């Protein structure tokens, strides 16, 4: 079996799939990429049994066949080669692979492609179509808020909630929460499921800047994303997602409106002086002034800044984890933001003042930290 492919084009496709690979696999065959050739098309797959991803590219070949290629070895050699055509020759009896370049020849041992795990066939799946830029935005806005607690696996993914005329993406780690909604996409019937972090990170890196349609198919235990020449299938997280609506305070009489970038910059500077364990910053609001301060009593470090804002409500002092605020403000895009509060011991709600897109709605919740008196 023989085929010719451009080194940089092949490297680009393999790098897209390399995020699927684990450093330690239960099956040695999973340390390989599966190459499947059908005349002038090469289909490449990678799997870790939980997530499987494949893409297709055009090559020069008149043959049909498949071979499992050692992933690390092929990536290392391609990274060190300038752009040029490469000729792959595969011995289908011994699975030996020879790569010929302008510089010379490289030999490596492949494996029987039949040993590579086949992606499960979906049955009775439901589907919807979403624009790639909308899906990429939803992932970017929510992924940072997912948890890492092995004891609560349902919080380690993003909750997809499908309605007839809208779709909602929710992420929380019990300290912060993001609810991102879109009204330009929906399904034929209501459905909900939790997608793990790893496939979402892979999607985030693969969707790119080109606007295209993504077909999402889903069953009770798996989801399949298809766009351009890429397919990504993943096993869903089992379990019931927490009732996120119950933790969002409905009555928030105190409202602060402020320039987002000014607030973000100020918190970044002040938090340098915060306690390295709590990362606590103190917000004191009154009239048209916001006072931001932080201190680390162990090292006698402290900082304080004042910003002009619009504030409606009683004078109030509240503490937040500066890292959470920075993540949230960095993932919002409007010029001004609203922070709504009800009491120093209740969560604050961040929303955008100006919407980038009339089809989207975003709400971020951050729990307070107890202030040192």
Q: 268-301, pLDDT tens digit by residue?
A: 999 999 999 999 999 999 999 999 999 998 899 9
| 364, 351 contact by CB (below 8 A) | yes
Q: Give the residue carrying structure tokens 């909900």.
A: 192
Please write the tens of the pLDDT for every residue from 323-357: 999 999 999 999 999 999 999 999 999 999 998 78
Packing angle, helices 260-271 and 322-331, rounded to 10: 150
pLDDT of residue 284: 97
Asked if 175 and 95 touch (Cβ cutoff 8 Å), the reply is no
* Average pLDDT score over the chain: 95
- Tell me how far apart the alpha carbons of residues 292 and 198 are, in angstroms, rounded to a whole number: 36
Report the predicted TM-score, pTM, of the whole model to 2 decimal places.
0.93
Residue listed under structure tokens 């970038």 = 261
Positive or negative, the CA dihedral 16, 205, 154, 345 is positive
Contacts of 28 (CB under 8 A, 6+ apart): none
- Going by pLDDT thresholds of 50, 70 and 90, the confidence category of residue 28 is very high
Q: Are strands 126-131 and 105-109 parallel, antiparallel or unpaired?
A: unpaired
- For 174: left if phi > 0, alpha if psi spans -120 to 50, otherwise beta; the answer is left
State the pLDDT at residue 171: 98
Angle at 192 between CA 176 and CA 53, to 5 degrees: 90
Mean pLDDT of all residues in 302-329: 97
DSSP assignment string, 313-350: SS-EEEEEEHHHHHHHHHH--SSEEEEEES-TTS-EEE
Distance CA(353)–CA(338), nearest Å, equals 6
Residue 227 has pLDDT above 70, yes or no: yes
Asked if pLDDT for residue 135 goes beyond 70, the answer is yes
Q: Report the DSSP beta bridge partners of residue 9.
A: none
| Domains along the sequence of the chain with CATH | 2-115 (3.10.150.10), 126-245 (3.10.150.10), 249-366 (3.10.150.10)
């Amino acid at each position: 079996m023989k085929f010719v492919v451009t080194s940089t084009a092949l490297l680009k496709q393999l790098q897209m799939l390399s995020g699927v690979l684990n450093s330690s696999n239960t099956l040695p065959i999973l340390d390989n990429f599966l190459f499947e050739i059908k005349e002038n098309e090469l289909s490449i797959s990678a799997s870790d049994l939980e997530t499987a991803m494949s893409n297709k590219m055009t090559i020069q070949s008149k043959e049909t066949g498949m071979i499992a290629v050692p992933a690390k070895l092929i990536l290392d050699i391609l990274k060190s080669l300038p752009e040029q055509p490469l000729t792959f020759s595969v011995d289908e009896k011994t699975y030996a692979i020879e790569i010929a370049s302008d510089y010379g020849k490289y030999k490596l041992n492949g494996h029987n492609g039949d040993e590579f795990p086949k992606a499960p066939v979906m049955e009775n799946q439901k589907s919807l179509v979403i624009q790639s830029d909308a899906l990429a935005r939803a992932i970017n806005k929510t992924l940072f808020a997912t948890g890492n607690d092995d004891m609560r696996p349902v919080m380690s993914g993003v909750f997809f909630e499908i309605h007839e005329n809208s779709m909602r993406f929710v992420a929380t780690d019990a300290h912060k929460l993001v609810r991102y909604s879109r009204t330009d996409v929906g399904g034929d019937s209501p459905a909900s499921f939790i997608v793990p972090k790893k496939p979402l990170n892979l999607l985030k890196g693969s969707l790119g800047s080109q606007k295209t349609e993504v077909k999402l198919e889903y069953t009770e235990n798996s989801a399949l994303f298809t766009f351009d020449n890429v397919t990504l299938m993943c096993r869903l997280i089992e379990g019931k997602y927490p009732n996120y609506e119950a933790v969002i305070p409905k009555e928030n009489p105190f409202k602060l409106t402020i320039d987002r970038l000014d607030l973000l910059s100020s918190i970044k500077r002040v938090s340098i002086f915060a306690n390295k364990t709590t990362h606590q910053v103190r917000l004191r609001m009154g009239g048209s002034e916001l006072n931001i301060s932080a201190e680390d009593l162990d090292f006698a470090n402290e900082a304080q800044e004042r910003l002009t804002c619009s504030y409606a409500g009683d004078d109030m002092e509240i503490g937040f984890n500066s890292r959470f605020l920075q993540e949230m403000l960095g993932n919002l895009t409007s010029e001004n933001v609203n922070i709504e509060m009800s009491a120093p011991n209740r969560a604050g709600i961040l929303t955008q003042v100006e919407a980038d897109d009339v089809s989207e709605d975003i709400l971020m919740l951050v729990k307070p930290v107890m202030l040192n008196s």
